[in-house]
Structure 1
């Protein structure tokens, strides 16, 4: 702000504002005479303002509209609706001819994948209640058979006193 000079650098010539309004009005009068025609270009017809109100009211007032009753069409509408419903029902019944699927149609792998992917919170006892025990064998659960020696090794590692089980380690399992 300190760098801005306080001296005004814009000056008007002496006597500029004296008679300024007269000069502007004279200039406007000269231009108006050159542009404006001597006669007016528009003329209102005689009696226009007396008739215009009545004409506007006549055009804007609503006349009674002709009412066409639709009672004659109702039976046709009901018939068309009934045909459409029958058509939809027939198409629905024809498309539903696929055989019903049952639990036996599912592959074991799909059932296993479903149970593993869902958190069903079922205990092993609850799952065992659902599975048919009469048809199951130990080979269904294990891919390879367990050797007798592996069973004995497991029992030796997990049980403190193997002799309490009364198993002769030299006997052959059948």
Structure 2
């Protein structure tokens, strides 16, 4: 790297740029002039530049257009939203008026289905302890009343030995 000189090695001969344009024009004239066209390649219509400024201004000047205002729909939207909110509020308040239920409001079928659907794991003796037997009659458990004659007919048909039941037939029919 030390061998490279720091002087500019590109030098032009003295007077090189003097008369350069004359030399180029002279060289062009000496060469074959048949290659260059005699007429210019681009043409401009007559009086083109006289009317150019007017044409540009007429095309670029903006005409004033009338402004059409759109209706303000925001106020309508707010009014509709307020009416819908009031409507929903009124309906919601009407539906939330529930009555308090008492034990008297429950039907016997509801209580029965609740007990049957739950497995309470109570034995018959536990249920018998809870239910008072003093005020109960046979008709309370049955949907239709049964005559004693019907009971006796049933027992005669289904049981072989009536003596096992210790029923005195004569006492019952009297």
TM-score by length of 2: 0.34
Higher relative contact order (CA 8 A, sep 6+): 1
Structure number, greater radius of gyration: 2
TM-score by length of 1: 0.34
